[in-house]
């Protein structure tokens, strides 16, 4: 948890108000869904965007899904 908090503070020091990521310490002791948890990721992203919209604030969202496994990047590049 310490390293995660340190990384969050580094990003916040660059001017970001909100930083979060999929990290096992973010989850409850007995999470209902753990493997790749796209529902949690989407829920947090949507909450962030809704709050920014309600406050009338511009935002930047970097959303990197952990689910992409197939096709491989090389297959995708040559068979697009």
Q: What number is the average pLDDT over the span 5-17?
A: 87
| Span 20-69, pLDDT tens digits | 775 555 555 555 554 556 777 888 889 999 999 999 999 999 887 766 66
Question: 19, 11 in Cβ contact below 8 A?
Answer: yes
Question: Would you say the pTM of this structure is higher than 0.85?
Answer: no
CB 13 within 8 A of CB 5: no
Q: In angstroms, rounded to a whole number, what is the distance separating the alpha carbons of residues 64 and 41?
A: 9
- Euclidean distance between CA atoms 39 and 34, whole angstroms: 10
Can you give the length of the chain in residues? 80
- How many alpha carbons lie under 13 Å from residue 9 in its C-beta half-sphere? 6
């Amino acid at each position: 948890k310490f390293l995660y908090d340190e990384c969050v503070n580094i990003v916040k020091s660059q001017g970001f108000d909100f930083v979060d990521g999929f990290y096992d310490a973010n989850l409850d002791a007995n999470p209902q869904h753990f493997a790749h948890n796209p529902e949690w990721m989407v829920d947090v992203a949507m909450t962030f965007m809704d709050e920014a919209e309600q406050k009338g604030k511009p935002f930047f969202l970097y959303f990197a899904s952990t689910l992409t496994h197939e096709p491989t990047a090389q297959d995708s590049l040559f068979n697009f």
